[in-house]
Amino acid sequence: MSGGVDSAVAAARAVEAGHDVVGVHLALSRMPGTLRTGARGCCTIEDSMDAQRVANKIGIPYYVWDFSERFKADVVDDFVAEYTAGRTPNPCMRCNERIKFAALLEKAVDLGFDAVATGHYANIVTDDDGNRELHRAATWAKDQSYVLGVLTSEQLAHSMFPLGSTPSKAEVRAEAEARGFSVAKKPDSHDICFIPDGDTKGWLAERVGSEQGQVVERDGSVVGSHDGAHSFTVGQRRGLHLGMPAPDGKPRFVLEVRPIANQVVVGPKEALDIGEIAGARFTWAGLAPTHPEIPFECEVQIRAHADPVAATAVVRPLAVPVPIEGQRPASDHELVVTPHTPLNGVAPGQTAVVYIGTRVLGQCTIDRTVSVDSNSAEANSTDANSTDANSAVPSGAVA
């Protein structure tokens, strides 16, 4: 129970469905803020008190579990490391993967609970053989299946999403108000929870530091300078402060971040069109395809609120295995997705979620992208300085 309206209504519905429910709020910071400012951040003391008031209202036990150390190691430190490596991470995906449906679920199962219920807008469907599948919510506008794409078959077996069939967020708020919940009109949180003021650049500068480097064109010509490559993301247009205009007079965009050389590569908008993405860190949400080594048709979504794009996907061996952080073994395969129409502004570190119809089939963290621009045939990777420009070997491998 985050202290928001969605988890409040989800808890109430779980009680009414006949389940024995316990409310749990996750303390994810050792120094949580006292008050929540509008839609900035979450997990404050105020949020904890809001969750407790709802638990008292519906008559369930309520606890606060301290996951701050695990959150720092698995989400915050990972966020810093990814930006330092020139990638663009999604901390919400990591939180779902490593905290809510790993650390929290593991503790819950150890304590004898059957499932973790959350206020996410997604559906779980059980097929004729008893296998559980993750599907989109009833409404596209509030569908949150993308950020749940990291869930595995085992985690889906112990997950519940009571809001999945709700037509709209307005209906959830109306229900909360009818139940007398004080959070009925509480605004949603839209920012990174551990950067409540929204200043990601400043937050990173405090932890990574600032070192001046070059802004270069694809041919290596220097067109400007920067105070820290980590503060740039692929697709960025504003804040480049280029010293000279492009020959064609058109705006330039960030195409690549090179952390080792401390360079930011810029170029025309058309160079952001991506014809292939691939990642060795992939998982299946439920049963895997019977023959993933055979190309199959699907849809791919690269951001939480992006439209899905028709694509072809396949799992194929890597030329060189990529070492994976943490406890997972080195991967010797990658999930390769080829969109039927180019994706725009995709960065290594982002998550690509693959769908078949409404079903979430699986996901991968993007290791490399391939531009369709004829003047930029390079394979962009998480460390462009260690890979030949036309190589298909992702970063982390030894070429």
| Contacting residues for 332 by C-beta, under 8 A, at least 6 apart | 317, 318, 321
Task: Say how far apart CA 50 and CA 97 lie, in whole Å.
Answer: 25
How many helices (H) and strands (E) would you count in the chain? 9, 20
Residue 166 buriedness (CB in 10 A; 0-12 / 13-18 / 19+): buried
Residues classed as catalytic = 95, 193
Pairing label, strands 263-267, 351-356: unpaired
Query: Which H or E element spans position 52?
Result: helix 45-58
Distance between CA 88 and CA 111 in Å, rounded? 36
Q: Which two tokens stand for residue 200?
A: 């990601």
Task: Specify the 3-state DSSP secondary structure of 335.
Answer: strand
Within 8 A by CB and 6+ apart from 99, the residues are 26, 28, 67, 70, 71, 74, 75
Burial of 191 (0-12, 13-18, 19+ CB in 10 A): middle
Q: Nearest CA to 142 among 119, 116, 174?
A: 119
Using CA atoms, how far residue 125 sits from 18, 129, 286, in Å, is 20, 11, 10
